[in-house]
Amino acid sequence: MQHIMLDLYGCSPTLLTNEAFLRRVLDEYPDRIGMDKASPVFLYDIKTSNPLDDGFSGFIIIATSHVSLHAWPPYGMVNLDIFSCEPFDAQDVIRYARLMFQPYDIEINAVERALRSPRLPNALRMQQQEECV
């Protein structure tokens, strides 16, 4: 199970307030990683007591987990999480984020999760457990 977390900095605030654009990004990610959509895109315009923390938060459920997005226009920042129980091309996920948001900087965190999951074939699960020790 892969979980890719991307923090993109220096994005256009105008782009990050474009609801149609953000919906498109969320809607296209499942196809890019070869996953089946299990829900429509949910996107919310968040207003807080601190206007600097206002922005859009959204997600789409895929058959094997989710893609989520948090856009912070005042900071020019986007946080993306792509989590799936099925393998996907992490480099393609990163390329697509760079293409769509044009950040000047990006932090990438990749985590292999649920290494003892009963979904994994037994031999693979044992191998991954040994690698963790």
Q: Model confidence over 23-60: pLDDT tens digits?
A: 999 999 999 989 999 999 999 999 999 999 999 999 99
Residue 133 pLDDT > 60: no
**What would the pLDDT profile of 63-100 be if each residue is shown by its tens digit?**
989 999 999 999 999 999 999 988 899 999 999 999 99
- The Cβ of residue 128 has, within 10 Å, a number of other Cβ atoms equal to 15
Residue 65 falls in the annotated catalytic set: yes
Show the domain range for 93: 2-132
7 HSE (CA, 13 A, CB side): 3
Split at pLDDT 50, 70, 90, the class of 123 is: very low
Decide if 85 is catalytic: yes
pLDDT at 127: 56
Structural domains of the chain, count: 1
Which one from 57, 66, 85, 132 is the annotated catalytic residue? 85
Tell me the one-letter amino acid at 97.
A
Domain of residue 90, CATH code: 3.60.90.10
- Which entry of 11, 65, 66, 84 is annotated as an active-site residue? 65
pLDDT given for residue 86 in this prediction = 87
